[in-house]
Structure 1
Amino acid sequence: MTVQVATCSAAQLFSECLHPESSSSANAIVTSGDETITGALTIPEYQRPYCWQDKQLDGLLQDIASHTQRSAELPYYLGSLILHKEDGKLNIIDGQQRITTLALMGCLLDSDPSTIGGLVYEHPNSQQQIKHNLQWLRDRLDRVRNWIDFNKLQFTLVITQSEDDAYRFFETQNSGGVRLGGPDIIKAHHLRAIENRTLQPQFARQWEAMGKLDSTVSALLKGRFWQSVKPRELPSHNQKQLIRDCIVDELAQSTGDGDDIAYGRIRRQIGLAGDVSQQADQQGYEVRQPLNAGINSIRYLTYFQALHQRYWESPELPHLEGYQQFVEWLKKRKGCDYVAKLYEACLLLYISQFGESQLEQAAKKLFRVVYSRRVSNQKSVRENSIPAFIRDQPVLDWIAASYTPEQCFEFLDAFELKVDPSNLDKNSVKRRFVEAVCEQFGLNLDADQYEKVFASALDQKIKGVQG
């Protein structure tokens, strides 16, 4: 794969710098290999229409304004543009939405807005959206004039010599057609929000050290969205664009401005003489706490990533041998992916409130409630059945509302476990799950007892289990 890389400003991109006759200009766009980039920016016919709407326009303006207010001397980075060079043209493979939006702003700021950066839009949907967005920006012209300086908007250009290479490069940084994953976007948001620029490299390294955040962020979203006081719907896992939007909104755009604050429960022991002693079961953050942009959110995610790794992903807990053995067994269960994701959210919420206090007992009591879907359903556990279950049995709220593990256990023990007899009489995923549970908890049951005895036998074991 032959790839050329260059950095340029939006001003360069929309000027004559890409024309062959301007190759000797001091303002030319030059790659790291000292090659001058030339060619006409073009949108291939097969590209999707221009579709940015008010929300995306407003978000871009706000981000640029916020960055400019904090560090007017530094450029605002707009990401990479992937271009395929062909017959004197630079086909835009990735970046059409951003380029078109900036071109519209340029039309309003230029005294002769006769073209949109030389780009041609033939799709009716693109033309309609351009008209709408041009008017939207015109109505906010003061914001555009105050905050948009094309000389301080910066891109990375990635230019390939073949279309296949362009899309191969595109796919290496995309998932399901989404240009950047949610965690990648919130990373940029929070690093930019750190006012002390000398600290940015330190927190950038801290972020990179966290590794892949998808599972942790998924659990945190469930913990924050699935609550009775402020219930919010989470998109399906395969709706990647909507999931990304939820991550960006919840963990970036909806964060406030302020210090690094961690909320948590504190127990105050009051003596006969009125003397007070205090103790906290955990020293980190709570799942549902409000967040501030920058260091606060970075440390919040670092904390929960560490919890997820330590207590679920790769537990090495010799002092909690029973807990470790149980979760390692649990992760091997087949056909339980959706309930396992809910279980992860419950586990993070519990540990963020109570630390390791009675953790083995909590893990098994949570299992009894959350994994009940595996036996109460007729066959498989569908993804959309999990939020429905949470509405009827708000297990996350039971944890969040409890002041002590014992109070939480009262909620969990009050849950009624039911078994649907369907598919228990044959070699099914459901039957194999029941058999595995019987073996794990020492339930000496025959297959013909599963329907009537399994629930009561498991209840007896788990409700009285000691951690």
Structure 2
Amino acid sequence: MNEQGQVEPQVYSFDEFFTEKAVFPVCIDSYQRPYVWDTDDVQELINDLSEYLAQSNGLAYYMGNVLLHQNNVEKKLFIIDGQQRLTTLSILYYVLNEKLIDSNKMAMEYHSPLSAQNIKQTQKLFERKKDKWKEQSTFLFSNIQFTFITTLSEDLAFTFFDTQNNRGVKLNPTDFLKAYHLRAIGNADHRDIQEDCARRWEKIQNKSTLFGQHKDFTAELFHQFLWRSRNWRGQQRVIYREDDDDMLTEFQKKSINSNSADTINLYPNPNNTLAKSLQLKVNQGYTLHTVNIEASNNSVHLPFTLRQPISKGLGFFLFSAKYADLVHMLLFDEDIKKPDIKAFRALYKDVWTKISLYLKELFVLASVMYYDKFDSEKLLEFTLWLDHVLGAVRIEKQSIYKEAITKFLKETDNNLLDIISQAFRPEEVILFIKSLTYYNEIYEKEEVIAGNGVQGVYKQNVLEYYKQTDFREKMDWINDDFIQRKLK
């Protein structure tokens, strides 16, 4: 950057930048994701550097752009893009030189357990090259080059960031969403709110995943739960797989402005209703019986609903935290006391953990939407009937493809997720599922051998769960006596 504050990309070696050119210590801002390079990423770099050292021919080893925001108030250079590469090279520098880079030039700190785990793993991989590369350390770090782009404007830095396609781990849309909404919170006056939101996000990332398709839970939360719950509507709009642009459109472009960084709008829903019943006083009007509104540090109690508008900044992070905690409360919380949730979890564990991934995604999504609307009221009864219709799909087809769940939502008289979202009472949802009599016929005609193949495994799990021997009258098993026994 020149004296007028204009952006002028400069090419420096790693060593040159961290000994001479960095005007402030290089830091990681609160919104940055953890260090996520895994064994494959590091090994690829090791292979490239080995080849380079064997035949450099005096040429530099170029590693792309590094984007920096020069914060003159805090006297720091915050990394906008390049954290993964700079962290990896800093670990290599430590291994080969047995010391850290000068803290006046490098002040990157890591607080995530995932970062600590990956840093240790990277260090172990580099230790294997220590004896061979130690004498070439000075040459190596004098010839590894970057194009450093430094701006005084954080927004301008992110403009560059959004259009870059640098070497490194491909960013998930949730990485962009995190950065976008932390920026939306505002300037240094709201640094405390930014840091609070960054901590909330990190907690979400470190939660266990359910389906094993993503490295951290934020990606799973937005793909398998939040986007689908908001966009799988009606009969025609249901599509199976959301892409990156869909995610950014829904949670970035469609988010709305707030009046201030620490205040967000609320919308009418069962979680923030003033009263739960009205009692008529003849000739004296009526009395409203108010609801006890939870005020706690538990994000599950936040007064949001899945399909509401999302406020930029704080609203986005609180919304994310609520549904991350809600999913984990339903599936993982060992201290849960509610009988319906404990019974739901037993059903999931006994019947659904080893079923088709695609059917399981819909089973859990519908259960989360139901709980979001009705809490645990009749949760077990709802999920027993949900198992009944989705289980029929499992029994009918030997192979379940990804289109199966959207086909289910499209081909019923109404979209089940819409029914849940729009219902006033749990009974409305349960009656809708019970009205899908086509699925009863599948059980009456099935000839699957229990325990044989994927269909048979499901059948065996269900028979053991209900303690029955014949599938043909399955719908009759779901009755008040059975439900009460499971709730004890």
Post-superposition Cα deviations, 1:20-69, rounded to whole Å, max 9, x if no partner, equal 9x98997568987xxxxxx978589xxxxxxxxxxxxxxxxxxx9xx9xx
1:459 partner amino acid: M
Distance 1:19 1:425 in 2: 67
Q: Which runs of 5+ in 2 are unaligned?
A: 27-58, 90-138, 207-216, 294-300
Q: TM-score with structure 2 length normalisation? A: 0.59
Q: 1:192 aligns with which of 183, 186, 200?
A: 183
Match of 2:286 among 274, 282, 287: 274
- The alignment's TM-score, normalised by the length of structure 1, stands at 0.61
- For 2:420, the equivalent position in structure 1 comes to 399
* Aligned counterpart, 1:383: 402
Q: 1:12 offset after TM fit, Å?
A: 7.2
Name the CA distance, whole Å, in 2 between partners of 1:302 and 1:345. 16
Distance across 2 between alignment mates of 1:358 and 1:154: 48
Matches within 5 A, 1:108-187: 170=168, 174=169, 179-187=170-178
Relative to 1, partners in 2 of residues 1:30 and 1:279: Cα closer, same or farther, differing over 3 Å?
closer
Q: What is the letter of the counterpart of residue 269 of structure 1?
A: S
Report the CA distance between 1:220 and its aligned residue.
1.7
Give the equivalent residue in structure 1 for 2:81.
Answer: 79
Choose the corresponding residue for 1:443, options 468, 483, 488: 468
Match of 2:220 among 215, 218, 230: 215
| Residues 240 and 403, structure 2, Cα contact 8 Å, conserved in 1 | no
- Find the counterpart in structure 2 of residue 254 from structure 1: 254
Aligned partner letter, 2:346: Q
Q: Secondary structure at the match of 2:469?
A: coil
* C-alpha contact (below 8 Å) 1:361/1:466 kept by paired residues: yes
Q: Does 1:330 align with 2:351?
A: yes
Matched, 1:466 2:455: no
Q: What's 1:159 paired with?
A: none
Cα separation, partners in 2 of 1:330 and 1:24, compared to 1, 3 Å: closer
- CA RMSD, 1 decimal: 4.6
Deviation readout 1:135-177 (Å, 9 max, x if unpaired): xxxxxxxxxxx9986799799xxxxxxxxxx98xx3xxx3xxx
Out of 299, 311, 334, the residue aligned to residue 330 of structure 2 is 311
Equivalent position SS for 2:277:
strand
What's the CA shift for 1:183? 2.5
Aligned residue pair count: 346
The aligned counterpart of 2:209 is: none
Q: Residue by residue, what CA displacement relative to the aligned partner does 1:425-459 show, whole Å, maximum 9, x if unpaired?
A: 582110121121112112222xxxx5xx1xxx221
Cα distance in 1, alignment partners of residues 338 and 321 from structure 2:
23
Q: CA deviation at 1:304?
A: 0.7
CA distance 1:274–1:302, change in 2 (3 Å): same
Q: Pairwise mapping of residues 406-417 of structure 1 onto structure 2 (< 5 A)?
A: 406-416=427-437, 417=439
> Map of 1:368-379 to 2, 5 A cutoff?
368-377=388-397, 379=398
Distance in 2 of aligned mates of 1:429 and 1:24:
58
Residue 11 of structure 1 and its aligned partner are, at CA, apart by 6.3
Unaligned runs of 5+ in 1: 1-9, 33-38, 45-63, 107-145, 156-165, 237-241
Classify 1:458/1:151 alpha carbon distance in 2 versus 1 (closer, same or farther; 3 Å): closer
Alpha-carbon distance between aligned partners in 1 of 2:379 and 2:355, rounded to the nearest angstrom:
25
1:343–1:367 Cα contact (<8 Å) kept: yes
Post-superposition Cα deviations, 1:356-385, rounded to whole Å, max 9, x if no partner, equal: 1122222212222333321232x1111122
- 1:230 shift after superposition: 8.0
What letter is aligned with 1:419? I
Alignment partner, residue 318 of structure 2: 299
1:232–1:322 CA distance, 2 compared to 1 (3 A): closer
CA distance in 2 between counterparts of 1:181 and 1:149 reads: 21
Q: Does 1:424 align with 2:448?
A: yes
8 Å CA contact retained: 2:255, 2:310:
yes
- Look up the equivalent residue of 1:346 and give its one-letter code: A
Distance 1:74 1:366, change over 3 A: farther
Aligned residue in 1 for 2:384: 364
The letter of the residue matching 1:180 is L
Contact 2:351 2:462 survives alignment (8 Å): no
1:89: Cα distance to partner?
Answer: 6.2
Cα pair distance change 1:78/1:276, threshold 3 Å: same
Return the offset for 1:315. Answer: 5.0
Separation (CA, whole Å) in 2 of partners of 1:148 and 1:221: 26
Cα displacement (A) at 1:406: 1.3
Amino acid at match of 1:215: E
Distance 1:336-1:229 versus aligned 2 partners, 3 A rule: closer
Q: What is the aligned partner in structure 2 of residue 118 from structure 1?
A: none
User: Quick one: distance in 2 between partners of 1:274 and 1:227?
Assistant: 38
Structure 1: which amino acid aligns with 2:218? L
Query: 1:235 is matched with which residue?
Result: 241
Distance 1:26 1:279 in 2: 63
Whether contact under 8 Å (1:365, 1:463) holds in the other structure is no
Secondary structure in structure 1 of the residue aligned to 2:82:
strand
Kindly indicate whether the alpha-carbon contact (under 8 Å) linking 2:80 and 2:158 is maintained by their aligned counterparts in 1: no
Matched, 1:226 2:232: yes
TM-superposed CA distance for 1:86, in Å, is: 7.3
Against the structure 1 CA distance between its residues 438 and 229, is the aligned structure 2 distance closer, same or farther, given a 3 Å change threshold?
Answer: closer
Amino acid at match of 2:9: F
Contact 1:12/1:29 (8 A) holds in 2? no
The CA distance in 2 between the partners of 1:348 and 1:326, in whole Å, is 15
Mapped to 2, the partners of 1:226 and 1:380 lie a distance apart of 23
CA contact (8 A) 2:236 2:410 kept: no
Structure 2: distance between partners of 1:208 and 1:292: 20
